[in-house]
């Protein structure tokens, strides 16, 4: 009798863009994204959580306290429009459907309450995404932060923001060990992520060449203590290096194409936000 071979499900490592796709947009958009992600065990790391907190949660908390300063929501939104960067304004627009309901008829207090609840929900969303936490070799502290159980209150937002900022100034993580380990490993395997030949080979991929140039800068810089500044600049590279060799990295960032090819790891590139929304509009036309 022939013994059946049990097929293991694919291991999908979701990067920060994939998490943003699955949490910040409306239901139709999320369903469209799901159609581009194959079945399998979805996994993330605390480093990915940290990137989501830094690029989404902290900005929305700042948005909350800026709106609170003004006499009404409209004045606060005008201020955000003039002071926020394009990326931050895009985030506000992407999440507005969840907390600007009924504007301008809704009161400022109601708007702030909805925004606060949305922020807390986003921090807790990982528990509802059916994703497994895999080992994070950087041991990022910021990605382990959580809100206490219970309903939203303003003090939670302030405490989260202050702790995040305090930890960023003097992180107690494994970044330096992570760096040394992978420098030795890549050298032993003959993998060059940031040399002139590599940059020339992928010269048409600006996202990757930016990463490669920053990697070269990091290699030339002696670091005795970890710094969140490097993590902000090298996020895609750290995610790619941290992924297991059996992972398929799911992302919309173009930098992962060359990174995964060089590191011999699987890669699934998601369409851009614009393309996904266009396909939805075409379906309805």
Does residue 283 surpass a pLDDT of 80? Answer: no
Let me know if residue 50 belongs to a domain.
yes
The rounded percent of the chain whose pLDDT value lies above 90 is 59
Is residue 107 predicted with pLDDT exceeding 60? Answer: yes
In a domain, 6, yes or no: no
Taking alpha carbons only, the member of 122, 125, 56, 116 closest to residue 91 is 56
In a domain, 282, yes or no: no
Please indicate, yes or no, if residue 118 is contained in any of the structural domains: yes
| pLDDT reading at 254 higher than 70 | yes
Question: Which domain, by its residues, includes 88?
Answer: 11-275
Residue 1 lies inside a defined structural domain of this protein: no
Q: Please check whether residue 283 lies inside any domain of the structure.
A: no
Residue 25's pLDDT is 80
- Residue 4 resides in a domain: no
Structure tokens at 122: 């986003």
Q: Is the pLDDT of residue 279 over 90?
A: no
Question: How does residue 2 score in pLDDT terms, banded at 50, 70 and 90?
Answer: low
Are the C-beta atoms of 143 and 238 separated by less than 8 Å?
no
| 156 confidence band (pLDDT: 50, 70, 90) | very high
pLDDT attached to residue 3: 56
Domain total of the chain: 1
pTM of the model: 0.90
User: Is there a domain that residue 3 lies in?
Assistant: no
pLDDT at 246: 92
Q: Is 117:152 a contact under the CB 8 Å cutoff?
A: yes
Helix, strand and coil in the chain, % to nearest 5? 60, 5, 30
Residues present in the chain in total = 285
């Amino acid at each position: 009798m022939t013994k059946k071979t049990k097929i293991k499900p694919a291991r999908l490592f979701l990067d920060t863009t994939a998490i943003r796709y699955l949490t910040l947009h409306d239901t139709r958009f999320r369903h469209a994204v799901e159609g581009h992600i194959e079945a399998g065990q979805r996994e993330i790391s605390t480093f990915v959580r940290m990137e989501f907190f830094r690029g989404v949660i902290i900005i929305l908390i700042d948005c909350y306290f800026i709106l609170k300063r003004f006499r009404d929501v409209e004045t606060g939104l005008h201020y955000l429009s003039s002071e926020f960067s394009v990326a931050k304004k895009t985030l506000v627009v992407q999440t507005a459907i969840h907390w600007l309901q009924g504007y301008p008829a809704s009161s400022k207090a109601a708007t702030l309450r909805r925004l606060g609840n949305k922020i807390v929900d986003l921090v807790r969303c990982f528990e509802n995404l059916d994703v497994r936490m895999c080992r994070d070799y950087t041991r990022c502290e910021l990605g382990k932060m959580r809100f206490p159980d219970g309903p939203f209150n303003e003090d939670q937002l302030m405490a989260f923001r202050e702790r995040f900022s305090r930890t960023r100034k003097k992180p107690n993580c494994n970044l330096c060990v992570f760096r040394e380990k992978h420098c030795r490993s890549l050298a032993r395997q003959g993998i060059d992520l940031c040399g002139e030949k590599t940059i020339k080979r992928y010269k048409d991929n600006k996202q990757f060449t930016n990463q490669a140039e920053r990697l070269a800068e990091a290699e030339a810089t002696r670091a005795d203590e970890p710094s969140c500044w490097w993590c902000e600049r090298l996020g895609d590279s750290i995610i790619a290096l941290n992924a297991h060799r059996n992972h398929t990295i799911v992302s919309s960032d173009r930098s992962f194409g060359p990174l995964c090819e060089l590191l011999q790891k699987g890669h699934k590139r998601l369409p851009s936000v614009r393309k996904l929304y266009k396909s939805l509009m075409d379906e309805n036309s």
